[in-house]
Amino acid sequence: MAERFRVLMISKACYVAAYRRKLEELATFPDVDLTLVVPPYWVQNGRRALLEPGHTEGYQMVVRNPALNGHFHLHFYPRLGDLVQDLRPDLVHIDEEPYDLVTFHALRIARRSGARTVFFTWQNLRRRLPPPFTWFLAFALNHTDAAIAGNTAAAAILRDRGYRGPLALIPQFGVDEAVFTPACRSEGREQGPLRIGYAGRLVPEKGLPVLLHAVAGLEDDWQLTLLGAGPERPHLERLAQGLGIAERVTVPASLPSTAMPAFYRSLDVLVLPSLTRPNWKEQFGRVLIEAMACGVPPVGSASGEIPNVIGDAGLTFPEGDALALREQLQRLAHQPDLRARLGERGRQRVLAHYTQRQVAAQTYALYCRVLSAPR
């Protein structure tokens, strides 16, 4: 491996500025010369989410609009070949699923140039893919130098599909521990209601009716905030009214990312009651590590990767079981010392595994492994 190596990363997700903190951390390794390809915007629900400013230190950012912008599985960068020819990267990191057109396209270009390749996957369900996606996947599994899986199920599925190359278990992005911090001791509060929160999409698979039924039977005083947007909002508001708890439940709109640390610090516990569906199960649960970084203990269902993310830093319950969730919330309401212990464990767990620096270091180690291996 050369003393200094060139990496080209392709990532639509990095239009979000906070995610680019990982790239800034990667760029601090003295032998890494990093370039990011990112779109000027990403189309979501018919609207353009613009490339956010900030977090561009230490690496080059190349803005290119992909063909079929907004199509997760069919977008690609038509002039990528010219860019690869100009940059001559030693490694191309395709931060996309292996069955996507953008991955197939980039793999072919990278291999022609002699660059090593890495792709990323979150996919934790063994889907039956139609052509041409099944062809893209087969090509990726047989023509990449390494793979990154964001959760344990995704790693197992890659192996089940026949992938035998280097495979690292690394979340796509971490959290900034200097931004997501616990409340200062001086911010302590008088005894009051248990402040329970949720943050995320208001959609059926997130299991929010389970949470409402759970809190409706709590013995102690409590308040619940369901922070987010989505089609379930009217149903959740009607359900809270029907359960007689509407005055204790607030459903505010989503907050900007810069306001999320303060939201977490306003809570005693964060709940993620996700429900596995035939076409979906929780792939990671980023709100868990954000809350944990803020010293807030999480309570999560057993859906997907949730128990693995929480570890010993929170409580879990069988998905869909409102009574079991109520019992866990009751424990936390009665035991403030348990909340404090779990909050401290959560912060330490994030520092050990889930900061942007930790994610970058694990990614860098994989780069070194790939570039040191014989062709």
Residues 28 and 337: their CA atoms lie apart, in Å, by: 39
One domain for residues 169 and 271: no
One domain for residues 227 and 273: yes
Q: What total number of domains does the chain contain?
A: 2
One domain for residues 191 and 340: yes
pLDDT score for 360? 98
Would you place residue 329 in the very low, low, confident or very high pLDDT band (cuts 50, 70, 90)?
very high
Ranges assigned E (strand) in 228-293: 249-250, 269-272
The amino acid occupying position 316 is T
Angle, in degrees to the nearest 10, between helices 208-216 and 322-334:
60
Nearest to 226 by CA among 266, 196, 186: 196
Query: Long-range contacts for 111-114 (Cβ within 8 Å, ≥24 apart)?
Result: 111/143, 113/84, 113/85, 113/88, 113/89
One domain for residues 137 and 18: yes
- Whether the Cβ atoms of residue 24 and residue 364 lie closer than 8 Å to each other: no
Rounded to an integer, the average pLDDT of 215-232 is 95
One domain for residues 135 and 272: no
In the predicted structure, residue 186 carries a pLDDT above the cut 50: no
In the predicted structure, residue 256 carries a pLDDT above the cut 90: no
One domain for residues 277 and 228: yes
One domain for residues 285 and 310: yes
Cα 289–chain centre separation = 9
State the residue range of the domain holding 95. 5-174+355-372
Over residues 29-51, the pLDDT tens digits come to 999 999 999 999 999 888 999 99
Residue 179 in any domain: the answer is: no
CATH number at residue 50: 3.40.50.2000
Encoding tokens for residue 158?
């890659």
Nearest to 290 by CA among 310, 318, 308, 307: 310
pLDDT score for 190? 54
In the predicted structure, residue 2 carries a pLDDT above the cut 70: no
One domain for residues 85 and 190: no
One domain for residues 207 and 349: yes
